[in-house]
Amino acid sequence: MPRQPRIDSPNLLHHVIVRGIERGKIFYDDEDRSNFVERLRMLLSETDTDCYAWALIPNHFHLLLRPHTVELSRFMRRLLTGYAVTFNRRHKRSGHLFQNRYKSIVCEEEAYLLELIRYIHLNPLRAGLVDDLETLGLYPWCGHAELLGQNKNSEFATDWVLSLFSQNEKSARQQYRQFVAEGIKQGKRPELIGGGLKRSQTGRTNHDEPQFYDERVLGSGDFVQQLQDYGLLDTPAQAKMSLGELMMVIVDKYSISTDRFMRRARSGEASEARSIFCYCAVRRLGHSGTATAEYLGIGSSSVSRAADKGERLIQTETGLPDWVLMLKH
């Protein structure tokens, strides 16, 4: 299934994750890290972008960003391209430094801002770069130390983050540190970074009602729907056509009964309809061969052969029929 385009519009909160190609290192030493942070600071200032949390790990990094006047894609292109050129020149290497596309997740602020700040700032501890919370407070390559008063840079939104805890700076730092300490026992928190979870859903308990979600969004179903209403999602956040629904389309188009469609046959109209069904299910709608095979009661290899046959049957000199073109992932 093709990758969906990123959701990219000023004033959205983005959790950005960038990894080295083939899990390789993108920071070898403090000079690399210093070069990256200096470039990041410069871009934050030039582009009026807020950074609420950041952490550098040898083979990846996390940023929590809100661009105000530029698109995230422009910001990241300048950051990654500039750093990669400097890194390659310094280490006498060539080729790509970063793994494919960077990952960006649009986040619902009210529910997830503080959780993400804590999650990102605990990364060096989870990765074993520091031994405990005390040494994390001195680790210079993470926003946590800045929030505790170390290495303060005006380009990072340190004061604003602290104001979420208290208007008194000393009290704010104490409350923030306690908040981070309480997060250590929570572990890796995979729900905050993806992994195929339906991170965004309505939260309704009635399973007969639709559950809106989008893999590019961390937030409630209402938040996803709001993004959709503003035109920021390219397609409605809902499930693709089911195999049962597709079968009804096929039997209607080819004027056969469902019983006849479901019976195995080596030739004839029903066999052709099943082949076209396999093609549409797997190659137009993105259902797995295994799921399609289970639905029809045949083997996965049979689905693959049937899909090939179905594609040949359904193609015409002018291309696919309109009703097939409407079947999309």
The residues, ordered by sequence, that sit 6+ positions from 9 with a Cβ below 8 Å of its Cβ are 71, 232
Measured between alpha carbons, how far is 27 from 31 in angstroms, rounded to an integer? Answer: 9
For 131, phi and psi rounded to 5 degrees?
-90, -30
Q: What angle, rounded to 10 degrees, do the helices at 289-296 and 300-314 form?
A: 90
pLDDT by position in tens, the chain (length 329): 445 667 777 789 999 999 998 889 999 999 999 999 999 999 999 999 999 999 999 999 999 999 998 889 999 999 999 999 999 999 999 888 998 778 899 998 888 999 999 999 999 999 999 999 999 999 999 999 999 998 777 789 999 999 999 999 999 999 999 999 999 988 778 777 754 344 554 444 343 333 456 778 888 878 887 887 777 876 544 456 788 888 988 888 888 898 889 988 777 888 999 999 998 888 888 788 888 999 999 988 899 899 888 888 877 644 566 677 666 54
Query: What pLDDT is attached to residue 326?
Result: 62
For 255, the token pair is 């004027």
Q: How far apart are CA 279 and CA 65, in angstroms?
A: 42
Written as six digits, the tokens of 39 are: 């470039």
pLDDT score for 289: 86
- Domain extent listing, the chain: 13-192, 243-325
At residue 212, the pLDDT reads 55
CB 243 within 8 A of CB 231: no
Identify the pLDDT of residue 221: 78
- Put the strands of the sheet holding 49-57 in their side by side order: 49-57, 60-67, 13-19, 103-107, 217-218
Residue 169: the pLDDT is 93
Distance of alpha carbon 132 from alpha carbon 319, whole angstroms: 62
Confidence (pLDDT) at 2: 46
pLDDT at 322: 61
Q: Provide DSSP, 198-227.
A: --SB---S-TTS-----TTEESBHHHHHHH
106 phi and psi angles, rounded to 5 deg: -75, 130
> What is the predicted pLDDT for the residue at 50?
95
Burial class for 42, CB neighbours closer than 10 Å (0-12, 13-18, 19+): middle
pLDDT at 154: 74
Number of other CB atoms surrounding residue 301 within 10 Å: 10
The CATH superfamily label for domain 13-192 reads Transposase IS200-like (3.30.70.1290)
243-325 under CATH 1.10.1750.10, yes or no: yes
